[in-house]
A and B are shown apart, each in its own frame.
Chain A
Amino acid sequence: DAGVIQSPRHEVTEMGQEVTLRCKPISGHNSLFWYRQTMMRGLELLIYFNNNVPIDDSGMPEDRFSAKMPNASFSTLKIQPSEPRDSAVYFCASRPPGVRTGNTIYFGEGSWLTVV
């Protein structure tokens, strides 16, 4: 099992540019989560999907952020236009189906974004 795969691992971009982060969840998992981690705010849930459908996007900071999950094996998080305050580590995580109380969530290695 390859685990949750995220790309790119590191990205440095200029303010105003579009950023697209990608995630491939573990095969067979039906829940997918996007988290953002900063020193100041810790880990924040941005959005999560269940069976490819967005369930809760209340953590998406503003309209510059959007996320899609066109199929069970791929999701994107897009920031357009990017700003320096978006600099953070963005984690994707997935969880298998079944009794939700008993299932562990698996994290990817993260995408380290720096907006200059």
Chain B
Amino acid sequence: KQEVTQIPAALSVPEGENLVLNCSFTDSAIYNLQWFRQDPGKGLTSLLLIQSSQREQTSGRLNASLDKSSGRSTLYIAASQPGDSATYLCAVVEAAGNKLTFGGGTRVLVKP
């Protein structure tokens, strides 16, 4: 059974610092990995999707890397802003099925 872990569960940084969020998964047979953002009281918004054949994806200040063989992905957010405060979740689509398995999320607070 696929298990997705995100450490740390919470992170607080001063504005301007770079954020590094970690995601690990136990079964490397994945189709893709997605990073989501969730604001309080809201649904999830997709940030980046990395195919299993890719090593990284970039969108603006966000960069996500994927090392499938070691079961790890990292989301980098450059020059953090207070508006980046949210919970960030990673999820993998398993090769054996169509569903996403989510990590527990990392709650981020960027202090002005």
Asked if chains A and B come from one complex, the reply is yes
A7 vs B96: C-alpha distance when bound (angstroms): 32
B51: which of A50, A101, A109 is its contact (CB, 8 Å)? A101
CB-CB nearest in chain B for A112: B41
Tell me how many residues of A have a C-beta within 8 Å of chain B.
Answer: 23
- Choose among B43, B46, B52, B100 the residue with the greatest number of A CB atoms under 10 Å from its CB: B43
**Extra pairs beyond A56-B98, A100-B93, A100-B98 (10, CB < 8 Å):** A33-B99, A55-B98, A56-B99, A101-B31, A105-B34, A105-B100, A107-B36, A107-B44, A107-B45, A110-B42
| Interface majority SS (helix, strand, loop, mixed), chain B | strand
CB-CB nearest in chain A for B97: A56
Whether, in the assembled complex, A45 has its beta carbon less than 8 Å from a beta carbon of chain B, the answer is yes
| Interface majority SS (helix, strand, loop, mixed), chain A | strand
Interface residues of B in 41-79 (CB under 8 A from A): 42-46, 49, 51-52
Task: Flag if A91 contacts B34 (CB, 8 Å).
Answer: no
Task: Flag if A100 contacts B103 (CB, 8 Å).
Answer: no
A-B contact count (CB 8 A): 53
Task: Flag if A100 contacts B31 (CB, 8 Å).
Answer: yes
Inside 8 A of A106's CB, which chain B residues have their CB?
46
Knowing A101-B52, A102-B51, A104-B34 are in contact, say whether A45-B43 is a contact too (CB < 8 A): no
Whether, in the assembled complex, B32 has its beta carbon less than 8 Å from a beta carbon of chain A, the answer is yes
CB-CB nearest in chain A for B47: A104
Interface residues of A in 1-46 (CB under 8 A from B): 4, 31, 33, 35, 42-43, 45
Task: Flag if A91 contacts B44 (CB, 8 Å).
Answer: yes
Task: Flag if A109 contacts B42 (CB, 8 Å).
Answer: yes
Nearest Cβ on chain A to B19's Cβ, whole angstroms: 20
A43 vs B89: C-alpha distance when bound (angstroms): 10
